Structure 1
Amino acid sequence: MAAEPARPSHPFLIKLPGVYAPQGDTRLLMTALERERIRPGAVVLDLGTGSGVLALRAAQLGGSVIAVDVARVAVVTARLNAFLHHRRITVRRSDLISAVGEHSYDLVLCNPPYVPSPTARGPTRGASRAWDAGPDGRAVVDRVCDDAPAALRRGGVLLMVHSKLCDPDATVRRLSRGGLEASISARAHIPVGPVLRSRINWLRARGLMSADDRFEELVIIRAEQT
């Protein structure tokens, strides 16, 4: 049996203003990452890296990591954290998979914006673009689903976290249509946070939450290129 992977030895992270702070969804995705047992030198892509915490963990587990984010401040933050923790991580400013070239990967990690928002597509600037994802929460999730098959090598795996509010079954179906073997591999319930509370009436009016909801269900979507 393989040894349990060491927990991160460098918990301290720099987080510049406007960069998404690691939260419950980050922890759930990190647990899923650790279950994959990354082989040494596996090529890992971290989409929407934010602070770079998942990229750091993938590198610590032996992966060769490319981390991308559309926000310049996130790119700077991830580079600083990689430097401070002595990890070789390539960090690029990129809009999802489309700007990273013709490469393919053994593992793709993604914690995308997934919170349903009253705005049509979510903002293009500011901290809220880390979570706002249009009325159904799928403005970015669907793009990841569509791009993932081409980005994964044979045997490669996509791990993506998002909320039950944006229809995990739709994510599984969309990935499956792309030829991947997809499923919900983990679930967790976390207390409703300030973003959801700030638009609770709108979410209730759309039937996405009820008056007595105190927790949000998060899921890990795992999809493999067979």
Structure 2
Amino acid sequence: MNPVDLYSSRVATYTRFVNVVRYPQGIRAYFLRASWLRSGLHVLDAGCGTGFATLALRDALLKRRMVPGSFHAFDLTPAMIDRFRATLHKRAITDVELTQADVLESEALPAEWTNYDLIISASMFEYLPPHRVSEGFQRLRSRLNEGGRFVLFITRRNWLTRPLIGQWWQANLYSKKELKEALYKAGFTSLTVSRFPIQYRWLSLWGFVIEATT
């Protein structure tokens, strides 16, 4: 099953799944402690899904008394975008602009979607063909401004994720070495592999958090 069909049929299941493992809360906690977080960031969420990463970042900014800047977000699956748009409407959030797009066809994004201070991506790159992952990273890197930062949340390959994410969610899984090689190939020159905060330590068993800059 291709990713669009998979996630179109499992939107509600996916929402319950990420909430049960407290993935959005873990991402929010990660941003709450980020030393580089500041007001006015121009942000792109690549593969936004139902929007939990964008909302986690926005909540972290507000919690730290910082002013959210402009947010853009795209996803391949219309059903996920519809769920995200409904959440934005319910929360009366008007500073997030959404569109449907494929990271491997990023020229389809609006021309003004560029020069980002921060690009985030959570649980999207697992669904690219493995031989095109580096290309996806490069396409996002080209949209960062000078000094911009890319933060990647991605599933690691281990005994837990093979059945739970690899099989059930039909995702590709990666080692730290493979991801670092793909990011360097995409043109990033500085990488930091981090963990989720201690109160969400089980998420570090699930996946990696990698910050990349040029």
Indicate the TM-score class for this superposition, using the shorter chain for normalisation.
0.5 to 0.7
Match 1:112 to one of 96, 120, 123 = 123
Q: Does 1:40 align with 2:29?
A: no
More strand by share: 1
* Structure 2 residue 187 is matched with structure 1 residue 181: no
Q: 1:86 aligns with which of 89, 92, 95?
A: 92
- Greater C-alpha Rg: 1
Look up the equivalent residue of 2:182 and give its one-letter code.
R
Distance in 2 (alpha carbons) for counterparts of 1:141 and 1:84: 34
Cα distance in 1 for residues equivalent to 2:120 and 2:27:
8
C-alpha separation in 1, matches of 2:146 and 2:97: 23
Which runs of no fewer than 5 residues in structure 2 stay unpaired? Answer: 1-7, 62-67, 158-173
| Gap runs ≥5 in structure 1 | 1-15, 116-131, 192-214
Q: CA separation in 2, counterparts of 1:155 and 1:42?
A: 12
CA contact (8 A) 2:27 2:56 kept: no
Counterpart of 2:55? 56
Q: Note closer, same or farther for the CA distance 1:162–1:112 as it changes in structure 2 (3 Å cut).
A: same
**Higher fraction of helix:** 2
Question: What amino acid maps onto 1:69 in structure 2?
Answer: D
Separation of aligned partners in 2, 1:18 and 1:143 = 27
- Cα distance, 1:139 vs structure 2: 5.8
Distance in 2 (CA, whole Å) between partners of 1:147 and 1:180 is: 15
CA-based RMSD of the aligned residues comes to: 3.0
Report matched runs for 1:1-226 at 5 Å: 18-19=10-11, 20-21=14-15, 22-23=18-19, 24=21, 25-36=23-34, 37-60=36-59, 61=61, 62-88=68-94, 89-96=96-103, 98=106, 99-100=108-109, 101=111, 103-113=114-124, 132=127, 138=130, 141-165=133-157, 166-177=174-185, 178-186=187-195, 190=202, 216-225=205-214
Calculate percent identity across the aligned residue pairs.
Answer: 20
Give distance in 2, aligned partners of 1:145 and 1:180.
12
Amino acid at match of 2:86: L
CA distance in 2, matches of 1:55, 1:64: 11
1:86 to 1:30, Cα distance in 2 relative to 1, 3 A: same
TM-score (norm 2): 0.66
C-alpha distance 162-114 of structure 1, shift in aligned 2 (>3 A): same
Please give the secondary structure, in 2, of the residue aligned with 1:154.
strand
TM-score by length of 1: 0.63
Using a 3 Å threshold, how does the CA distance of structure 1 residues 133 and 147 change in structure 2: closer, same or farther? Answer: closer
Q: Following TM superposition, where does structure 1 have runs of at least 4 consecutive aligned residues deviating by more than 6 angstroms?
A: none
Tell me how many residue pairs correspond in the alignment: 169
